[in-house]
């Protein structure tokens, strides 16, 4: 199937062609037709499945049809609600890309920055608003934004909304929406709470689901090192001596630990930046830009901050700390091996994390191969704590306890997933075999 088979209008097809997309992903094939028909939709899809295009394309098409009929731009007519700033920005970029040949206007509003430019955009008139719950409610309370004309409502990453404690805010937003609207509801997982929330929002929805959360991409090579907590940093530095490990996303549980690891890597001569909720929006965007443009080799991220991050050609994901929620592991490693590319997922497992590994292997129904720990010098020391780490994050965990540092008991309960829609896109095959380096690291080179 091609995008031309989905009854999309020519301006959208031109935009897709300009982006290099020709073939819709399964979620796009299943979701676009019923959304074009005006039906409510409940979508179960995890990271990397292309779900942003699954709702963006048909909404743009329906709104353009209304525009041609002479509908005036007064208040926004579409609202896309997301849990994080990064995801909101990514969706905004997708709307700009797919709607480049349409006269529709959009804006992205989120906290952590001045609201001035966001307010100016709203006053100038927009058709689509992409927003996080907190800033959206702030602007509504200031009577700077009205939802009375919303015809299309998208709730994306609903499970993350639940994890971050935003469900009450979501319900406050929904209470201000018109009863007559089209609602699209997406979630990577479908626990009972999510099903109950969806039941209250949707009317006779079409249900589509692809790639169950327990599955991992076949092209992702997974391995685990059993190593004491105190050796994790030295092991990571050793592996990074292999120059074929081109771009690495390293996951930590806590903001405090992410900062420490980043500082330790820099002291070891490895370009690294950290991204988490305590960073300013400008700092986070700069770190992402540096990583995408290969100015920074290593990006250290917490699960929440990584939500919505989309990075082309990410070669490696490293679980410096194993998550205590197994679905989180699936979402983490799904950042690599996208669009038919190969990827490597490396996990460090200390003795206290063995139960987490067992839960992960039970979920994905496979045993992760164990790599022998290579010989390396244990000269790299982690940055010492100058004070006990605080409980991090602004959401309540359903599993685990608070903690920090490298491998302490940790608070999680997150199910991160990035999100960039992608159909098949032509990619150049880069030849070359594995470039060997130190023993124990070259085996993770990707032939590209």
Separation between Cα atoms, residue 254 and residue 196, nearest integer Å: 30
Q: Identify whether the C-beta of residue 325 lies closer than 8 Å to the C-beta of residue 305.
A: no
- pLDDT of 245 > 70? The answer is yes
User: Could you tell me whether strands 106-109 and 128-131 are parallel, antiparallel, or unpaired per DSSP bridges?
Assistant: parallel
Output the pLDDT for position 381: 62
- pLDDT of 434 > 60? The answer is no
Output the pLDDT for position 448: 40
Separation between Cα atoms, residue 59 and residue 104, nearest integer Å: 11
Q: Which helix (H) or strand (E) holds 445?
A: none
- pLDDT of 224 > 80? The answer is yes
Query: What are the E-state strand segments in 126-233?
Result: 128-131, 152-155, 182-187, 206-209, 220-226
291-348 residue pLDDT tens: 988 899 999 998 767 765 667 678 899 999 998 878 788 888 888 876 556 789 999 9
- pLDDT of 173 > 70? The answer is yes
Residue range 373-380: mean pLDDT, rounded: 76
Where in the chain do CATH 3.40.50.300 domains reside? Answer: 3-209, 220-382
Q: Identify whether the C-beta of residue 227 lies closer than 8 Å to the C-beta of residue 378.
A: no
Residue range 221-233: mean pLDDT, rounded: 95
Worst-scoring range by mean pLDDT, 175-179, 368-372, 438-442?
A: 438-442
Separation between Cα atoms, residue 305 and residue 352, nearest integer Å: 25
Output the pLDDT for position 343: 87
Q: Identify whether the C-beta of residue 129 lies closer than 8 Å to the C-beta of residue 109.
A: yes
Output the pLDDT for position 216: 63
| Residue 377: C-alpha distances to residues 231, 437, 442 (Å) | 10, 15, 17
Q: Which residues sit opposite 222 in a β-bridge?
A: 345
Q: Identify whether the C-beta of residue 305 lies closer than 8 Å to the C-beta of residue 392.
A: no
Q: Identify whether the C-beta of residue 122 lies closer than 8 Å to the C-beta of residue 345.
A: no
Read off the tokens for 225: 């090192």
Residue range 198-214: mean pLDDT, rounded: 85
Separation between Cα atoms, residue 321 and residue 253, nearest integer Å: 7
Q: Which residues sit opposite 346 in a β-bridge?
A: 223, 318
Q: 3-209 adopts what CATH topology?
A: Rossmann fold (3.40.50)
> Which of 376, 28, 442 shows the shortest CA–CA distance to 208?
28
Output the pLDDT for position 274: 92
Q: From edge to edge, which strands make up the β-sheet containing 78-81? A: 106-109, 128-131, 78-81, 152-155, 182-187, 41-44, 206-209
Output the pLDDT for position 429: 38
Task: Report residue 189: phi and psi, to 5°.
Answer: -130, 160
CB-count exposure of residue 306 (10 Å: 0-12, 13-18, 19+): buried
Average pLDDT over the chain, rounded to an integer: 82
Q: Read off the pLDDT band of 36 (50, 70, 90).
A: very high
For the chain, the farthest-separated pair of C-alpha atoms sits apart, in whole angstroms, at 70
Output the pLDDT for position 388: 35
Q: 220-382 adopts what CATH topology?
A: Rossmann fold (3.40.50)
Q: Read off the pLDDT band of 415 (50, 70, 90).
A: very low
> Which of 250, 225, 267 shows the shortest CA–CA distance to 384?
267
Q: Which residue has the higher pLDDT, 343 or 150?
A: 150
- pLDDT of 79 > 80? The answer is yes
Q: What is the number of alpha carbons within 13 Å of residue 123 lying toward its C-beta?
A: 9
| This prediction's pTM | 0.59
Output the pLDDT for position 416: 38
Worst-scoring range by mean pLDDT, 139-143, 379-383, 399-403?
A: 399-403
Output the pLDDT for position 282: 81
Q: Read off the pLDDT band of 447 (50, 70, 90).
A: very low
- pLDDT of 436 > 60? The answer is no
| Residue 22: C-alpha distances to residues 5, 95, 178, 312 (Å) | 11, 17, 36, 17
Separation between Cα atoms, residue 5 and residue 19, nearest integer Å: 18
Q: Which residue has the higher pLDDT, 96 or 25?
A: 96
- pLDDT of 31 > 50? The answer is yes
Residue 370 makes CB contacts below 8 A (sequence gap 6+) with 223, 224, 225, 226
Residue range 155-183: mean pLDDT, rounded: 93
| Residue 393: C-alpha distances to residues 153, 165, 303, 411 (Å) | 27, 11, 10, 9
Q: Which residue has the higher pLDDT, 271 or 86?
A: 271
Q: Read off the pLDDT band of 193 (50, 70, 90).
A: confident
Residue 287 makes CB contacts below 8 A (sequence gap 6+) with 273, 274, 275, 279, 296, 299
Q: Identify whether the C-beta of residue 15 lies closer than 8 Å to the C-beta of residue 303.
A: no
Worst-scoring range by mean pLDDT, 137-146, 192-201, 303-312?
A: 303-312
Residues of the chain with pLDDT > 70, as a percent, come to: 79
- pLDDT of 226 > 70? The answer is yes
> Which of 446, 14, 44, 56 shows the shortest CA–CA distance to 207?
44
């Amino acid at each position: 199937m091609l995008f031309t088979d989905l009854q999309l209008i020519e301006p959208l097809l031109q935009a897709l062609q300009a982006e290099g997309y020709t073939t819709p992903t399964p979620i796009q094939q299943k979701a676009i037709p019923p959304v074009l028909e005006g039906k409510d939709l409940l979508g179960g899809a995890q990271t990397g499945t292309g779900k942003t295009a699954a709702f963006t394309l048909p909404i743009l098409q329906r709104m353009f049809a209304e525009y041609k009929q002479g509908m005036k731009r007064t208040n926004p007519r579409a609202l896309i609600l997301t849990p994080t700033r990064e995801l909101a920005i990514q969706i905004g970029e997708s709307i700009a890309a797919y709607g480049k040949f349409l006269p529709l206007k959009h804006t992205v509003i989120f906290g952590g920055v001045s609201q001035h430019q966001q307010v100016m955009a709203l006053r100038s008139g927009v058709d689509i608003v992409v927003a996080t719950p907190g800033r959206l409610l702030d602007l509504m309370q200031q009577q700077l934004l009205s939802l009375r004309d919303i015809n299309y409502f998208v709730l994306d990453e609903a499970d993350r909304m639940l994890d971050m404690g935003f469900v009450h805010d979501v319900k406050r937003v929904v209470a201000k929406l018109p009863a007559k609207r089209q609602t699209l509801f997406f979630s990577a997982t479908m626990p009972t709470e999510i099903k109950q929330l969806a039941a209250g929002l949707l009317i006779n929805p079409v249900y589509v689901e692809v790639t169950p959360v327990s599955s991992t991409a076949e092209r992702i090579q997974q391995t685990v090192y059993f190593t004491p907590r105190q050796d994790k940093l030295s092991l990571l530095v050793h592996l990074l001596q292999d120059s074929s490990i081109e771009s690495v996303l390293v996951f930590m549980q806590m903001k405090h630990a992410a900062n420490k690891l980043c500082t330790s890597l820099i002291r070891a001569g490895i370009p690294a930046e950290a991204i988490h909720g305590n960073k300013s929006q400008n700092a986070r965007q700069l770190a992402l830009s540096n990583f995408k443009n290969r100015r920074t080799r290593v990006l250290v991220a917490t699960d929440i901050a990584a939500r919505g991050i989309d990075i082309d050609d990410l070669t490696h994901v490293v679980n410096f700390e194993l998550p205590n929620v197994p679905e989180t592991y699936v979402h983490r490693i799904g950042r690599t091996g996208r669009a038919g590319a190969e990827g490597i997922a490396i996990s460090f497992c200390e003795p206290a994390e063995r139960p987490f590994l067992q839960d992960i292997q039970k979920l994905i129904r496979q045993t992760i191969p164990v790599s022998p720990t290579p010989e390396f010098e244990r000269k790299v020391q982690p940055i010492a704590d100058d004070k006990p780490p605080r409980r991090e994050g602004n959401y309540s965990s359903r599993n685990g306890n608070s903690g920090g540092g490298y491998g302490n008991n940790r608070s999680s309960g997150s199910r991160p997933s990035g999100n960039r829609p992608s159909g098949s896109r032509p990619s150049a095959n880069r030849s070359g075999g594995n470039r060997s380096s130190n023993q124990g690291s070259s085996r993770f080179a990707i032939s590209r």
